[in-house]
A and B are shown apart, each in its own frame.
Chain A
């Protein structure tokens, strides 16, 4: 590998700054993430006078973690491409101060936090355990004549994932919906502890099947930052390409689900066919329909893009032709449009109150996309996504209903196609230039997990890792099909000591109930469910 191929900007080692008191830390986070965006969102709080001029920050991660041998609250913020790592020792005498009472986005993370740490969260507005959902069932909230309570799930029709939905209705009108999740909690974050990054990657890939690549991508960036390693630009480009391929098949699948919910069987079947063709393309490229194994830590995927480019171009062109045809038909079919317009409205103010991400946020005008300039990936900092044809797809109607969520996915499909086109061209050009220079070295470089890259003497001790002896913290961000995915890793002597996952759906789930109880009737539920397209496995993990 020539030094010039190395990414020029290697992120510096993470310094976790220790805060003195938990209230100081939560006040600081609120000031950076909420007040600098909109002072009216939290009312007249007395926190946050220090950061008048600082750019607004995004909270990527907030949980309990062991820092310097002590149980701490850990928060990772990002603003303008820079990271801020904050930690504060859990104080034995004092409960954890609640941010959820002024910033609703924190209500769910704090519920998890309280159960994980066994500590009280002071003045939490809605404390209810999240783990072991079968033991802590939600209680009905509505009272009065004519209120009907309907628990739906956790086993439901079709192949949908497990969740319990507690509906409360008056007539057909839904007045409250409480989703009960975590039936699919597998404890992946705990399973990863003590593993080598190579083995942990396999678990990261399996957090959520539909965002398998983007979870692996975020994990790879986190562990590469933790170990102080950088990857060449071509590797970054091919990771972005795979990420877009994952978005394409997910969006086709989500559109198919929306068509199905609205009773459009031909549209549903034809869009599902497109998804299937794209899954087969994935399998032809990587051997796996869900792109397992496409991420190699610190290395290239081993793809020879010249050989694949024509197949990808041709297939995507045909799929685009078909998708545009069926989207046009759907958008001109009154029964379809009528089911979507005004259904499951997400209020634009919820975007910042709940830190919404992905197509759900963009459908009501929220310009949040971790591919845009403000939020560039930690190890992909040298990549300018706008040069790859990226632009944030935001709804022009800004109604925030199911129709907008459908249309935003259509826009994103087009953007992703344009990006795949440019990425392929760049990869083919750059790979042919590299192979022309050094035929022999590129061969050994290309497969990150080939026999040559493993240390054979180390293998006799049962240690298979290229991270031996590496320590540090790292965060990785990927814009998955459902929005921003953040992984936090603490590497200690080549083994993972702390692992945290914040999936896109984890930010969006809290408003699902609100949007459903926002003037909708029972028969709207499938449409809202499909248009949100949330992942259960992603939040449950």
Chain B
């Protein structure tokens, strides 16, 4: 019995990956819903109401035009990406970390989140 277990355990070899991913990056992560980022500034000429559909109010437009997203409040439901794909897109990055709470807020010019820092 013990021999069976040893054979089964050892025959699977190494299955873990290194971190950070580097060369072993799993390409399927690209399709996963992780955190949305703003890929281009909103071109709308009328004050945007896109904050209305965000269930956690993570998306705000402080002056009516410059949209920003607080990834710290985001639950990844994906409504913004579905409804406004020209502005929002999935970052494709499965690791989310920032050095302070305010740095989780991503704005149109990219910001730390969009640059993947």
* Chain A residues within 8 Å of B, Cβ to Cβ: 199, 202, 206, 266-267, 269-270, 273, 280, 283-284, 287-289, 292-293, 325-326, 329, 332-334, 447, 449-451, 454, 459-460, 462, 464
Are A459's CB and B49's CB within 8 A?
yes
Contacting pair B8 A266 (CB below 8 A): yes
- Of the A-B pairs whose beta carbons lie under 8 Å apart in the complex, a sample of 29, sorted by A's number, is A202-B55, A266-B5, A266-B8, A266-B9, A267-B5, A269-B9, A270-B8, A270-B9, A270-B12, A273-B15, A283-B32, A284-B31, A287-B33, A288-B32, A288-B33, A289-B32, A292-B33, A292-B76, A292-B77, A329-B1, A329-B5, A333-B5, A447-B82, A449-B79, A450-B83, A451-B82, A454-B53, A459-B52, A459-B53
Instruction: Flag if B9 contacts A287 (CB, 8 Å).
Output: no
Chain A contacts of B72 at CB under 8 A?
none
Closest-CB distance, A141 to chain B (whole angstroms) = 42
Assembled-state Cα–Cα distance A283/B30 (Å): 10
Nearest-CB residue, chain A, relative to B34: A287
A283 to B32, CA, bound (A): 6
State how many residues of chain B have any CB contact under 8 Å with chain A. Answer: 24
User: CA A206 – CA B15 in complex, angstroms?
Assistant: 30
Q: In the complex, how many residue pairs between chain A and chain B have their CB atoms under 8 Å apart? A: 66
Least distance between A30 CB and chain B CB atoms (Å): 41
Question: For residues 1 through 54 of chain B, which have their beta carbon under 8 Å from a beta carbon of chain A?
Answer: 1, 4-5, 8-9, 12, 15, 28, 31-33, 49, 52-53
Kindly name the residue among B28, B31, B32 whose own CB sees the greatest number of chain A CB atoms within 10 A.
B32
Residues of A within 8 A of B49 (CB): 459-460, 462
Residues A284 and B1 in contact in the complex (CB < 8 Å), given A292-B77, A325-B8, A464-B52: no
Known: A287-B78, A326-B8, A333-B1. A293 touches B33 (CB 8 A): yes
Q: Which of A206, A287, A454 contacts B32 (CB 8 A)?
A: A287
> Does the CB pair B55–A199 fall under 8 Å?
yes
CB <8 Å contact, B31 and A202: no
Q: Please, how many angstroms separate the alpha-carbon atoms of A329 and B82 in the complex?
A: 46
Leading 5 A-B pairs by shortest Cβ distance: A287-B33, A266-B9, A462-B52, A283-B32, A199-B55
Nearest CB in chain A to that of B46: its residue: A460
Minimum distance in angstroms from B29 CB to a CB of chain A: 8
A446–B55 Cα distance when bound, in Å, is 22
Closest CB-CB distance, B30 to chain A, in whole Å?
10
B37 shortest CB reach to chain A, Å: 15
